[in-house]
Structure 1
Amino acid sequence: MAPPQPKAAAKAPAAPKSRVKKAKLGKARNYDLGNGIVRFSKTKMFHKTAKYKFVGKKNPKAPKTKKATIAVKPIGGEKNGGTRTVLLRRRKSFYPTQDKIKTHRHHKCFRKHERNIRPNLTVGTVCILLAGRHAGKRVVLVGVLPSGLLLVTGPFAFNSCPLRRIPQRYVIGTSTKIDLSDFKLPAHLNDAYFKKNKKSAKRSVKRKEGEDIFATKKEKYVPSEQRKTDQKLVDEAVIKAVGKREDKKVLRGYLKAAFGLRSSQFPHRLRF
């Protein structure tokens, strides 16, 4: 008979697996809705995170202990100076060839920027135009528009310069000023008032025999009745203010004359 086989040892019961609790990941307070748009604005998050409680509070910073960057080591030898300063941390052996691109906040649009006007450019200042079809003419500053452009007029009766907008960099402000404190600029004379029509300035004309196929004709600009009325209103106020001055004859001639430089005259040496 075959020898009896030994019974297999009973398997020990497996130890129960320890249940590891996974940390619950909550939803971010300000989450992305897609395409870079977040749920709450910067102002809303200022209140939700209660940052207003810390406005104006100053906590004194604890002084940081500076770590040593160099060490002084003794060196033997008569001609070696005795000691030598050694850097504890070696300098980088690799430097990037291009700087990292910095992201800047861009919440404010250009139209919302604060406009700074030169202090000598106040209402009533006589200015000299440096660019455009009226370059060299002396004009009177009537107002400053929200876009930062200056609203000037000739007046039209003096030098044929109508109401125009012009950037302050194309203007020289002189020391001559006219008192326009009694005049108030109409509210409708704003940037939208001076915008051009989006319609094309060119208009196709029916082709006649023997003419070019692509013959076009420019549409001539004609000022509206509203423009004429506003021009007359502003010019009357300026001419009235000029007439109140003692040197009105000289000032009228000054506004009518064009500005120019003669030989050996330099603008940086002149006092306007």
Structure 2
Amino acid sequence: MAPTPTKVAAKPAAAKPKTAKGDLKKRPRKRNSELGNGIVRFSKTKMFHKKAVYRFIGKKTPKTVKPKKRVSIIKKIGGEKNGGTRVVFLKKRKAFYPTQDKMPKTSYKKCFSKHVRNTRSILEPGRILILLAGRHKGKRVVLVKVLPSGLLLVSGPFRYNGCPLRRISQRYVIGTSAKLDISSVTVPEHLNDLYFKKNKKSSKRSVKRKEGEDIFSAKKEKYAASEERKADQKTVDLALLKVIRKNPDRKVLKQYFKSMFGLRSSQYPHRMKF
């Protein structure tokens, strides 16, 4: 007969390390569990009885009245003409009283002109930008300087793409990797926000209408650039053109400024490197 196999004694299981009572936090048991797709195990009426809400309906807890701290006491005073009693404060009051009340500090709003302007790090003077809004959208322009209002002063140059000196918000601009060294270009100091401010004409008519004249005959005046604007445009453009002509890639830059930016099918700007 074959010898019967002897059973090997099982090894004792390793004891779990004991943890302190404060280490493990007891998780709160949920009375109602979710079965899936927003369906719960117990209905609203079942939970009403499980939680014993009916015991607390119509129950009113009495309001606890806190005892007030005594501020003063009444002391008896001798003498016939002193009234017999006097109110004495337990805590001595201040001996100094200001003649004027201090004005409380109120929150105030800063004017828009006093706000701190933050521009993107790529928007430096001389950077070539792509305009995304306005009548000159799609054109490549040169960033001349950042104005105190936070707007960007850009120029075409006008000779290449017809974009004059104008302001634009940094939201409507794409900054490219191309940059010109315009350290030698001196921008006139009067080219600021006030320079581009429009003169709003009063709604009242300065000249009286003649008798029998048609109301709808008056037409809006077309915008015409002043001589000062034209002179400033020439000075800035001449300085920018000198910088472009000194650049070794002047032929490519000239065509780059003249061409318009656009997207075709399956072209996404967030995947492009400008």
| TM-score past 0.5 threshold | yes
Matched, 1:122 2:124: yes
Moved more, 221-230 or 142-151: 221-230
2:86: which partner in 1? 18
What's the offset of the Cα at 1:215?
A: 3.3
CA contact (8 A) 1:205 1:217 kept: no
Amino acid paired to 1:127: L
| Aligned residue among 225, 228, 245 for 1:226 | 228
Identity of aligned residues (%): 58
CA distance in 1 between counterparts of 2:123 and 2:88 reads 74
Select the structure of larger CA radius of gyration: 2
Matched, 1:108 2:179: no
Q: Which secondary structure does the structure 2 equivalent of 1:229 belong to?
A: helix
Amino acid paired to 2:185: F
May I ask how many residue pairs the two structures share in their alignment? 191
Per-residue CA deviations over 1:163-203 (Å, capped at 9, x if unaligned) read 00000000000011111011122111100000000115997
CA distance in 2 between counterparts of 1:223 and 1:166 reads 18
Matches within 5 A, 1:15-164: 16-18=84-86, 23=93, 26-27=97-98, 31-32=102-103, 105-164=107-166
TM-score, normalised on structure 2? 0.62
Matched, 1:256 2:263: no
CA distance in 1 between counterparts of 2:208 and 2:223 reads 17
CA contact (8 A) 1:202 1:216 kept: no
CA distance in 1 between counterparts of 2:194 and 2:99 reads 44
| Structure 1 unmatched ranges of 5 or more | 1-11, 33-37, 43-103
What's the offset of the Cα at 1:18?
A: 3.3
CA contact (8 A) 1:205 1:215 kept: no
Gap change, CA 1:107 and 1:134, over 3 Å in 2: same
CA contact (8 A) 1:123 1:143 kept: yes
TM-score, normalised on structure 1? 0.62
What's the offset of the Cα at 1:106?
A: 2.7
Q: Which secondary structure does the structure 2 equivalent of 1:162 belong to?
A: coil
Matched, 1:190 2:192: yes
| Structure 2 unmatched ranges of 5 or more | 1-78
1:246: which partner in 2? 248
CA RMSD of aligned residues (A): 2.9
CA distance in 2 between counterparts of 1:30 and 1:112 reads 31
